């Protein structure tokens, strides 16, 4: 399987999450940039829901012979390749490069093959909303 975050509209601009995302939790935190990703940000006042590009990584169960490079480590998330990503946003989680590199070395592509019997997004801080909207085959 190859996981693709293609959450963009017809013009290539990012789509926000379908459900409210609480940015006060420990989560992917793309607005924190490289230094503030994968953590709980601090706020002086309570912010509204996050409406930026959706960080995504998929976790699967039931894949025989698939290693951790395809298993959806929570901090291995990445943003869609959108035209309008805000400046300064982190575009990938702190563990994206190590796992993508491992998949590239093992399979010749990032996010290698596997067979999923159950899959859901596990981006840090977002599984509860991803499971709610994931279409099941």
Chain segment 37-74, per-residue pLDDT in tens: 999 999 999 999 999 999 988 776 666 677 777 777 88
Residue 49 has what pLDDT?
93
Q: Which residue has the higher pLDDT, 125 or 59?
A: 59
Instruction: Determine contact, residues 113/100, Cβ cutoff 8 Å.
Output: no
- Closest to 1 in 3D by CA, of 85, 129, 111, 108: 111
**Considering the chain, what percentage of its residues have pLDDT values greater than 90?**
41
- The pTM score is 0.76
């Amino acid at each position: 399987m190859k996981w693709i975050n293609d959450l963009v509209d017809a013009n290539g601009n990012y789509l926000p999450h379908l459900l409210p995302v609480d940015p006060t939790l420990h989560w992917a935190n793309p607005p924190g940039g490289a230094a503030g990703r994968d953590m709980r940000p601090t706020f002086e006042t309570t912010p509204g829901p996050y409406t930026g590009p959706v960080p995504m990584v998929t976790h699967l169960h039931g894949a025989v012979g698939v290693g951790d490079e395809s298993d959806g480590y929570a901090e291995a998330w990445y943003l869609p390749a959108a035209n309008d990503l805000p400046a300064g946003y982190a575009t990938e989680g702190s563990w994206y490069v190590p796992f993508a590199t491992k998949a590239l070395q093992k399979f010749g592509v990032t996010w290698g093959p596997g067979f999923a019997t159950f899959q859901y997004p596990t981006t840090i801080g977002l599984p509860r909303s991803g499971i709610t909207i994931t279409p099941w085959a």
